[in-house]
Amino acid sequence: MVHSGRALLDEAARRLREAGIESPRLVARRLWSALRGDDTLLALLTEDTGISSEDAVRLRDWIERLAAGEPLAYVTGWTDFRHLRLRCDQRALIPRPETELLVELGLDRVRTGVAADIGTGTGAIALALRQEGTFDQVIAVDCSVEALALAQENGAATGLNVAWRLGDLLEPISASLDLLVSNPPYLTAAEYATLDASVRDHEPRLALSSGEDGLTATRRLLDEGRRVVREGGWIALEVDCRRAVATAALAEGFGWREVLVQDDLFGRARYLLARRGRA
């Protein structure tokens, strides 16, 4: 049976509107384009577009998952990050646009030598560093077996050579790093509890919450990072804007130099950059 494209689009937009989804018709087109693997004008549906029963069933399933609160990237199974298209599912946090600027800030300072991405998740940061830099080696670490498997799948799909390592933060790192990049978990337990359900109920808590003050992982990276980052090398971290000043103070207390907090595109203090001085 062949279904009318326009009728299916109207049905999808109506269901999403009922679920409180913003711009429901545009979101419906995004789902359709993802289903077809065609971003051209969001795979424009017209009255003459014929849709097979198989595609109609799959699209309706995606619509129901989205209406139930599942994030778009998990529904479609992929997300874009800088120049990459990455597989994405509930094994790892969905890469955010803010993290794309973290990569850029790191590359502005170091593009050669050895780089590491700690808490790699989908592998987004590590793969972007490998694709855009001229590093001799890029290392990616995650403590989750499931997340690391997803990152390796993305590495294989992109053909980019990254050294994948399972372990707790900097534990597996023995190399002398020129650049250490991380988007660590940085929410307090209380903040995690108030997250939107689309995040809290679907994305891994391990990648979001970091102790009572939200700084457990960040504190360890700044402390233990002195062991693995060479003299003159850089650390680049994504931080919570509410604790950016406190994070900068921590970095200075651990002896990092040229400590800088930089805003994201929305004017929120989002990134910490610092250089390692003499031990």
Per-residue pLDDT tens digits for 14-31: 888 888 888 888 888 888
Residue 205, pLDDT > 50, answer yes
Query: Is 167 found in the same domain as 135?
Result: yes
Looking at per-residue pLDDT, the higher value among 170 and 13 belongs to 170
pLDDT tens per residue, range 223-249: 999 999 999 999 999 999 999 999 999
Query: Is 185 found in the same domain as 132?
Result: yes
Q: How far is CA 16 from CA 29, 66, 145, 203, in A?
A: 12, 8, 35, 21
| Angle between helical axes of 97-109 and 124-132 (0-180°, round to 10) | 40
Q: How far is CA 95 from CA 52, 73, 79, 125, 208, in A?
A: 32, 9, 8, 9, 12
Query: Is 102 found in the same domain as 39?
Result: no
* Percent residues over pLDDT 70 in the chain: 93
In a domain, 105, yes or no: yes
In a domain, 130, yes or no: yes
In a domain, 82, yes or no: no
Contact by Cβ (8 Å): 31, 75: yes
Among residues 68, 99, 117, the one where a domain terminates is: 68
Task: Domain count for the chain, please give it.
Answer: 2
Residue 117: which of 171, 169, 187 has the closest Cα? Answer: 169
- At 41, is the pLDDT very low, low, confident or very high (cuts 50, 70, 90)? very low
Query: Is 139 found in the same domain as 189?
Result: yes
pTM: 0.90
Domain that holds residue 57: 2-68
CA angle centred on 262, ends 248 and 88, rounded to 5°:
100
Query: Is 249 found in the same domain as 192?
Result: yes
Residue 35, pLDDT > 60, answer yes
